[in-house]
Structure 1
Amino acid sequence: MLEQRYRWKNKQLREHIDVIDGKKAPSIVLKQATYLNQFVRRWMTANIWIYEDRIVYVGDQMPTNTKNTEMVDCQGVTLVPGYIEPHAHPFQLYNPHTFAMYASQTGTTTLINDNMVLALQLEKKKAFSFLGDIRHHLPVSMYWWCRFDPQTEIQYQETKFSHANIKSWLEHDGVLQGGELTGWPKLLDGDDLMLHWIQEAKRMRKQIEGHFPGASERTLVKMMLLGADCDHEAMKKEEIWNRLYHGYTTSLRYSSIRPDLPDLLDGLNELGIEYYDNIILTTDGSPPSFYEKGVMNELIRIAIDKQIPVIDAYNMATINIAKHYKIEHLHGSIATGRVANINILANKNEPTPIGVLAKGQWIKRHDDKQVDSYPSFPWEKHDLKPLQLDWELTIDDLQFSMPLGMKMENEVIIKPYSVSVDASVDELSKNHDECFLMLVDRYGEWRINTILKGFSNSVDGFASSYSTTGDIILIGKNKNSMIVAFNRMKELGGGIVVVDGNDVIHELPLTLMGVMSDKPLEELMVEEKGLKTILQERGYYFNDPVYTLLFLMSTHLPYIRITPVGIYDVMNKVVLFPAIMR
């Protein structure tokens, strides 16, 4: 940890001074560059000197020592800072490495990431080793959150989310915030341990990210008093106003399940908002296919199209985020002393770059990806291996007698309902949309069985190791087909499998702990689209099966969830039917 405490060591800082004095040559000089200077809110022209991973000078002068310096004529193009994604969930089938590789190609060179999967699946020492390695393996700048709760009800929560673990995460120099606060109702109900963690984060000058969908003004006020700084759940213009009015940094979302940004920007215009410095943008960790047009570049484009002032459109994806997270001395602008994350645009109205510098390395040039910028990552060193299950699923596990089922209202909202079908049979009729649903411990210790309504009317067998906790989800009309799907998923080392009868008709391998793929996003997009098509052909009514799988267990959403402790009533905070031991 000591070697990471300072962004640049003393020796490096002296070398930066040597470049200014002509004793060393810069690595790259971007000559006559028209660039966005956010400190004076103007498009200006300057020469930009880069030494290794840092901008060491921006101004009219040229270096006196140019030995081996790469000179780049920037006349006719426009430069803006590398974009920042402030709310990444880098485990949505993809992994942090492949997502960073893909995002950087469209100009997103800094990611602030959810740590949930690392906190749940790895021991703390391994997780921190992973954070250090991925920081040094990538030209993309990687930062992290510290979750205070698992977003569901789990066994041994007090171990995974112990005070010692949370304190260690908060103290890590790569962690910028506590949250997101999906467990905020418990905080309001008197959870003083969570409040203590918030206090610790504030003492360390780190931010607190909320998660307050539909929150009243009274709730927003209370959460601000308890320490929340930012929230990304505004879905209407009035909700934007309430957050801004009470001093929140307000994050506007454009995601697969909440593509609200165009309407929210219309709302800003209707409200007459002219000051955007406390507004930021996020894609909120969407599945792979959502990113076909890029990441933050697409949100900037939408903002420009909605008549947001161009400089503010860029600021909402750069300097505003950096200031919120107190990293503006490193990121978010093209200025002396900042990390050399720079996007080269054809023009200021086209935010998808034709060239990208990240930490002073070309990762995209003349619209071509620079493959050598992305070294492979040592997954096995960090115990991120294929899922290994040393137990068998049998027909005896697939016993369904629970009178209470789960009815999907959309991709993520689930209500309780009374089961009327005969669930003792081996195969349910395809004349209705009710399926067997089973959540089983990845170590084979417990299971919980019920009926799921609204997922499909004709999926025979479906198995997924992708879930909030990494436990196994089984869905289907036919119990034997569910076992076939499980066995194939097991053979793959984790993944998502769809079965018709005894035939596997689609599989999506997730060979990193059963929750992430090691494939590039471009390949993963094809596999995800294939999954969605097959499920929709079999009666999945909705648009995002990936989020359905993720949120089946998530107790920050109403009304009922299947969790490792049993069927859970979210509104009343009570287990209705406990999990049973196998």
Structure 2
Amino acid sequence: MMSSQGGFYNLDIKEYQELIQVPLGKVYADKIITNANLINVYTGKIQTGINVAIKNSRIAYVGTSSNMVGEATEVIDATGLYLAPGYIGPHEHTDFGANPIALTNEILPHGTTTILTDTTSITGALRAKGVQGMMDMTEHLPLKFFYCICAANPILPNIEGEECLTMEEFISFLNHPRAIAVSEIVAWVRALDLDETLLSKLAYARGINKRIEGHGAGCSPDTLNALVNVGITSCHESISAEDIHHRVSLGVHAMFRHGSILSDMEKLSKVITLDPEFDTRWLMMTPDWFSPRDILTKGYMKYLVEDAIKYGIPPVTAIQMATINAAQYMGVDQIIGGIGPSRFADILFLESPILPDPVKVMVNGEIVAENGKLLQELPLNLPKLSIENWRPGRVPTFAVTPEHFAVKATAADGENVKVPVVKIINRTITKLDYANLPVKSGQIMTEGEDILKISMVHISRNRLVSAFMKGYGASIGALASSTSHDHHAPFVIGNNDADMALAFNRLLEIGGGLVLVDGGVIRAECPMVIGGIMSDQDVGSLDRAQRVIEDYLIERGAHSGPLITMDFMAHTGVPFIRMTPSGLYDVRSKKILFS
């Protein structure tokens, strides 16, 4: 039997021999599912009256025979039900927010049985120790975890800190049996600028035939061609049917993103609904990332299949996009992705092809969930990855006081100074704006115009660097975070230096996460004790903690998704103005605007 997920590709000789003999009637099946309607993702057809025989953890036979049934064979009658393969998430960020075990408890009952997860966040938080921690905590889970290994974090080493993984560490992780791709290349500008450190890692990955995840947000046709030459094999950043068509036409596997950050299924589905002859084999679906609330209410991949069907994609096609297409892209279609001999018996029992939430979920030949509930919940046995394990660049070398947030002015008291500010446009996009701010006691003050200060640990670690932002909506004393993508340098926003110091120091005391302070009082906090970016609690507890903070912010005028906005404040991989450990940065001009 398979001893761990690292042995996905290996059969011991006894299991190998038994699989061969079951269809011949020489060895009896352990289980047989009878009278099923089979959603055959290989042919795109539905077959009726099908039996599926299982030996150990794998499917041994699919057809109409029953000559492999013995007295000890368990018979599962599937009359009236439809069998589909377990759903696959082909581009996920499960190294951030909810921990993988808590995530498994929530999404496995709704049919997601395999995930290909990025490791950029855990790498930025904990370096190699974080990647190993992720692999360790998912080793024996019923939900199969495969990995993308980060080649570039931080995105801009010259202003955000040194690379988190050495070439040797990168190579070691990429050769792990469950590592099948390189994490999305958010730092694609470095690749186009011929950065030898990054290209050396990508060249190695190409040399051992690993996938390279793309991040082609806003790319022109010429740039996208160049990125294909860099080596990208997929992209999840399409926001129109035209984007999907363009990527597929260049040989890039395209994903329909439909999650908490962006939900574009309705627009993207038109590439199929308006052109029924479009070849869908290169199409997949991903939430990219789901918030704790969306995990609890939407059930992960089944939600994407539901909405794909709602927007006109044929049900079998939608299921193919969530199963075999992803498995073939990942290069694991001989073990998952379809209901066929030799594949793991990851099988969903559906009431109808148009109702993708399963009534039963089978993993490795065992029924693990019924009617949306796990038969046995997994204990949260998690690694200890506290602040002592954080990447050194994230932890200041000094005790933070209110004075560290002062922004000194050269103008005289009573005058106004024009300063660049980062203006929030939506959850992920910002732009450059300016504000005229008053000078008092030799400092630039945050007064009027929806202005907040934003302060981050400097790249030197021996001070804070501060700038200004507008458009967040909520006028608050302080909100501190250690979860901002991708390098996770702790930062705090607010309009009161004393509150900001209290929030920042409390953030470090609790091991990272989120801390809200207003009027000198800690109003709420959400500990994320695994590297300061991941909760050690169940998804419901994480959701409740975050909702208290989010509700407080929205009551005070914050716009939709204020915590997602916080997470992207330092993400230099998206336009246009970002806070960095070196100061306020213009992604387009590649210049520090204020520090």
Q: Tell me the TM-score normalised to structure 1 length.
A: 0.90
Q: CA deviation at 1:433?
A: 0.9
- Give the corresponding residue for 1:142: 145
- Give the corresponding residue for 2:567: 550
- Give the corresponding residue for 2:305: 300
| Aligned: 1:101 with 2:117 | no
CA-to-partner distance for each residue in 1:210-236, whole Å, 9 max, x for gaps? 111122211222222332221111112
Give 2:19's aligned amino acid: H
Give 1:232's aligned amino acid: H
| Aligned: 1:333 with 2:318 | no
Give 1:245's aligned amino acid: S
Structure 2 CA distance for aligned equivalents of residues 93 and 62 of structure 1:
46
**Higher deviation after alignment, 343-352 or 12-21:** 12-21
**Higher deviation after alignment, 132-141 or 146-155:** 146-155
Structure 1 CA distance for aligned equivalents of residues 221 and 131 of structure 2:
38
Instruction: Indicate how the Cα distance of structure 1 residues 308 and 279 shifts in structure 2: closer, same or farther if over 3 A, else same.
Output: same
Structure 2 CA distance for aligned equivalents of residues 540 and 38 of structure 1:
45
Instruction: Give structure 2 stretches of 5+ with no counterpart.
Output: 410-418
SS where residue 232 of structure 2 aligns? coil
Instruction: Indicate how the Cα distance of structure 1 residues 136 and 8 shifts in structure 2: closer, same or farther if over 3 A, else same.
Output: farther
| Aligned: 1:53 with 2:71 | no
Structure 1 CA distance for aligned equivalents of residues 191 and 6 of structure 2:
36
Task: Give runs of aligned pairs for residues 516-527 of structure 1, distance below 5 A.
Answer: 516-527=534-545
- Give the corresponding residue for 1:113: 117
| Aligned: 1:496 with 2:524 | no
CA-to-partner distance for each residue in 1:480-509, whole Å, 9 max, x for gaps? 122232343334332212222122222222
Instruction: Indicate how the Cα distance of structure 1 residues 391 and 129 shifts in structure 2: closer, same or farther if over 3 A, else same.
Output: same
Q: CA deviation at 1:550?
A: 1.9
Give 2:309's aligned amino acid: I
Structure 2 CA distance for aligned equivalents of residues 70 and 504 of structure 1:
57
CA-to-partner distance for each residue in 1:414-456, whole Å, 9 max, x for gaps? 2233342236579966743101111126995442111121123
- Give the corresponding residue for 2:492: 474
Is this contact kept in 1: 2:499–2:519, CA < 8 A?
A: yes
Is this contact kept in 2: 1:386–1:514, CA < 8 A?
A: no
**Higher deviation after alignment, 514-523 or 264-273:** 264-273
Task: Give runs of aligned pairs for residues 45-444 of structure 1, distance below 5 A.
Answer: 45-62=49-66, 64=68, 66=70, 68-124=72-128, 126-127=129-130, 129-150=132-153, 152-154=155-157, 158-291=162-295, 292-372=297-377, 374-380=378-384, 392-401=399-408, 403-422=419-438, 431-440=448-457
SS where residue 371 of structure 1 aligns? coil
SS where residue 239 of structure 1 aligns? helix
Give 2:281's aligned amino acid: D
Is this contact kept in 1: 2:301–2:322, CA < 8 A?
A: yes
Structure 1 CA distance for aligned equivalents of residues 406 and 123 of structure 2:
32
**Higher deviation after alignment, 162-171 or 75-84:** 162-171
Instruction: Indicate how the Cα distance of structure 1 residues 567 and 9 shifts in structure 2: closer, same or farther if over 3 A, else same.
Output: farther
Alignment root-mean-square deviation, CA = 2.9
Instruction: Give structure 1 stretches of 5+ with no counterpart.
Output: none
Is this contact kept in 1: 2:404–2:463, CA < 8 A?
A: no
Q: CA deviation at 1:257?
A: 2.8
Is this contact kept in 1: 2:358–2:371, CA < 8 A?
A: no
- Give the corresponding residue for 2:480: 463
CA-to-partner distance for each residue in 1:314-337, whole Å, 9 max, x for gaps? 001110111111111011101111
Give 1:357's aligned amino acid: M
Q: CA deviation at 1:513?
A: 2.0
Give 2:326's aligned amino acid: I
SS where residue 379 of structure 1 aligns? coil
Q: CA deviation at 1:283?
A: 0.5
Q: Count matched residues.
A: 574
Q: CA deviation at 1:510?
A: 1.4
Task: Give runs of aligned pairs for residues 498-513 of structure 1, distance below 5 A.
Answer: 498-513=516-531
Structure 1 CA distance for aligned equivalents of residues 333 and 68 of structure 2:
29
Q: Tell me the TM-score normalised to structure 2 length.
A: 0.89
Structure 2 CA distance for aligned equivalents of residues 263 and 483 of structure 1:
44
Structure 2 CA distance for aligned equivalents of residues 442 and 491 of structure 1:
21
Is this contact kept in 1: 2:120–2:183, CA < 8 A?
A: no
Structure 2 CA distance for aligned equivalents of residues 389 and 258 of structure 1:
34
Is this contact kept in 1: 2:154–2:163, CA < 8 A?
A: no
Give 1:470's aligned amino acid: H
Structure 1 CA distance for aligned equivalents of residues 542 and 446 of structure 2:
33
CA-to-partner distance for each residue in 1:196-254, whole Å, 9 max, x for gaps? 33232222222122111122211222222332221111112222221122222111111
Structure 2 CA distance for aligned equivalents of residues 270 and 18 of structure 1:
47
| Aligned: 1:13 with 2:29 | no
Give 1:28's aligned amino acid: K
Structure 2 CA distance for aligned equivalents of residues 216 and 443 of structure 1:
36
Is this contact kept in 1: 2:403–2:497, CA < 8 A?
A: no
Give 1:398's aligned amino acid: F
CA-to-partner distance for each residue in 1:450-477, whole Å, 9 max, x for gaps? 1121123421121112222232121111
